[in-house]
Amino acid sequence: MTDDRAIILKADELPDKWYNILPDLPEPLPPPMDPPEGYSRVGDLPNLLIGECLKQEMSTERWIPIPEGIRDLFLAAGRPRPLYRAKKLEEKLGTPAKLFYKSEFYSPTGSHKVNTALAQAYYAKEQGFERLTTETGAGQWGNALAYASSLVGLDCTVFWVRAVYRWKPQRLKFMQMFGADVFASPSTQTEFGKTLYAEDSNHNGSLGIAISEGLEDAKNDPKAVYCLGSVLNHVLLHQSIIGLETMKQMEIAGEYPDTVISCLGGGSNFGGIALPWMGEALTKNKEIQFIAAQSEAAPNLQGEYKDDFADHAEMTPMLKMYTLGHQVTMVPIYGDGLRYHGSSPILSLLRNTGHLDAVAYPADEKYVFEKTREFVQAEGFLPAPESAYSVACAMDEAIKCKENNEKKTILFNISGHGFLDLDGYGEVLGLKPQPERS
């Protein structure tokens, strides 16, 4: 069904294959590497990842069938998700551009992260694991994995960057509703966590540290396996469902994007919406501009392109990626999900070959949140603080179209909702508590 504003797919139009860009990349993807010294992290990979995910990580098959059991879980999570034409926003901006946004904010826990959480939980259960461990920054990934674990019948342990754990008590309760065991990281649950906690029990933590804790916890329990919510090839593969649905929807709308935009932390939602389109750009010679929206607090696509660890304690193999350094300290921002030191190897390669542009917005977040307030007032949906970067970038591009009188079609992803993040918006936009008024 279609109308002027929402383009909605039926359940039987849910894609039945994921798109893997590896065979279509302009250059072969550099493999994970071992550091010059120490044990082989590459050799350790089968002990770190779910078997099916490791297979997908290396696969050069262009199309990978989505098992019926996972398609069923996707339907239960409300997929396919609508694509919207932002007509009210276009009017407000007075732009000749056409703006379309994908609604990952309809996810049960609030973000696109459920797309890979459900797939990973399904494969882990099939392999006989009983518990999943993970890290989370913004809390969206931990919440998504807690939800997926609960749906397939697994236990879940979440190591949550302490600074964010402290300012998102509602998100914590949401994870607890699904039965997850949640620790502020660095925690006293792992040897690595204990050393940092002993130095500073108020340690803010980082995603890199929380990853190390999740890995250590899983390594010490044969019934547990670690799951990562971004960066890796198989995560972007699972997220390709976003872009594949969007391709069908744009076809129904009779449109083709000139520009594809999303926010980028480790790269999973950006890869999800962009890579199916990037595949067309690479194999069918289509002209599409791809823009990743980042924060100046973590502009990893402006870092160095080199082999680096994905975690603080150097337990993962080294991945060739744009990185700010795996032990870098970054200032806190409300869009905490964007605060990761490295960008996915696939997207890093595409950045290096000139197929991917990036913009970084000021770390005080005033600009992106003010733009997002305009979006909220026109369109009515409340994006997550991370998604606010995508919204601001799309609006900037629409304004450029107005200045240059260009009728571009701009597609952007809204990776999540901000219902549990209003304190951040309130703080930055000055929405102060007010005395009771009647």
Ligand X SMILES: Cc1ncc(COP(=O)(O)O)c(C=O)c1O
If the CB atoms of residues 268 and 323 are measured against ligand X, the closer one turns out to be: 268
SS3 at position 29: coil
Exposure string over 187-226, b if 16+ CB within 10 A, otherwise e: bebbebbeebbeeeeebbbbbbbbbbbbbbbbbeeeebbb
Size of the residue set binding ligand X (CB under 6 A): 21
Stretch that binds ligand X, among 54-62, 247-255, 259-267, 311-319 (CB under 6 A): 259-267
**Structure token digits, residue 351:** 């950045």
Considering the rule CB under 6 A, would residue 265 count as an interface residue with ligand X?
yes
Q: Which residue among 20, 116, 269, 316 contacts ligand X (CB under 6 A)?
A: 269
Strand partners, 410: 99, 259
Considering the rule CB under 6 A, would residue 424 count as an interface residue with ligand X?
no
**Least distance CB 113 / ligand X (angstroms):** 6
Instruction: Give me the phi and psi of 15, to 5 degrees please.
Output: -55, 145
Considering the rule CB under 6 A, would residue 274 count as an interface residue with ligand X?
no
Distance CA 341, CA 325 (A): 6
Considering the rule CB under 6 A, would residue 421 count as an interface residue with ligand X?
no
What binding mask, one character per residue, do residues 339-378 give for ligand X by CB under 6 A, x or -? ----------------------------------------
Considering the rule CB under 6 A, would residue 15 count as an interface residue with ligand X?
no
Task: Round the CA-based radius of gyration of the chain to a whole number and report it.
Answer: 20
Distance CA 57, CA 50 (A): 10
What binding mask, one character per residue, do residues 123-162 give for ligand X by CB under 6 A, x or -? --------------xx-xx---------------------
If you write DSSP's letter for every residue of 194-242 in order, what string do you get? HHHHHH-TT----HHHHHHHHHHHHHT-TTEEE---SSSHHHHHHHHHH
Q: Which residue among 311, 415, 425, 428 contacts ligand X (CB under 6 A)?
A: 415
- What CA–CA distances, in Å, run from 308 to 157, 303, 344? 26, 11, 11
Stretch that binds ligand X, among 92-100, 244-252, 260-268, 295-303 (CB under 6 A): 260-268
Residue number of the CB closest to ligand X reads: 337
Considering the rule CB under 6 A, would residue 111 count as an interface residue with ligand X?
yes
Considering the rule CB under 6 A, would residue 387 count as an interface residue with ligand X?
yes
Considering the rule CB under 6 A, would residue 416 count as an interface residue with ligand X?
yes
Write out the binding residues for ligand X, residues 227-246 only, by CB under 6 A.
230
Stretch that binds ligand X, among 94-102, 219-227, 353-361, 384-392 (CB under 6 A): 384-392
Listed in sequence order, the residues at least 6 apart from 410 whose beta carbon sits closer than 8 Å to its beta carbon are 97, 98, 99, 100, 257, 258, 259, 261, 394, 397, 398, 401
Stretch that binds ligand X, among 71-79, 152-160, 280-288, 380-388 (CB under 6 A): 380-388
If the CB atoms of residues 335 and 401 are measured against ligand X, the closer one turns out to be: 335
If the CB atoms of residues 243 and 267 are measured against ligand X, the closer one turns out to be: 267
Considering the rule CB under 6 A, would residue 115 count as an interface residue with ligand X?
no
Q: Cα 399 to the chain's mean position, in Å? A: 26
Distance CA 98, CA 407 (A): 7
- Is 265 exposed, middle or buried, given 0-12, 13-18 or 19+ CB atoms closer than 10 A? buried
Considering the rule CB under 6 A, would residue 263 count as an interface residue with ligand X?
yes
**Structure token digits, residue 197:** 């906690």
If the CB atoms of residues 95 and 390 are measured against ligand X, the closer one turns out to be: 390
**Least distance CB 168 / ligand X (angstroms):** 11
Of 191, 206, 232, 272, nearest in space to 58 by CA:
232
**Least distance CB 268 / ligand X (angstroms):** 3
What binding mask, one character per residue, do residues 71-110 give for ligand X by CB under 6 A, x or -? ----------------------------------------
Secondary structure E strands in 56-212: 63-65, 83-85, 98-103, 131-136, 155-161, 181-185
Planar angle of CA 299, 140, 156, nearest 5 degrees: 125
Considering the rule CB under 6 A, would residue 273 count as an interface residue with ligand X?
no
Q: Which residues contact ligand X (rule: CB under 6 A)?
A: 111, 137-138, 140-141, 230, 263-270, 337-338, 384, 386-387, 415-416
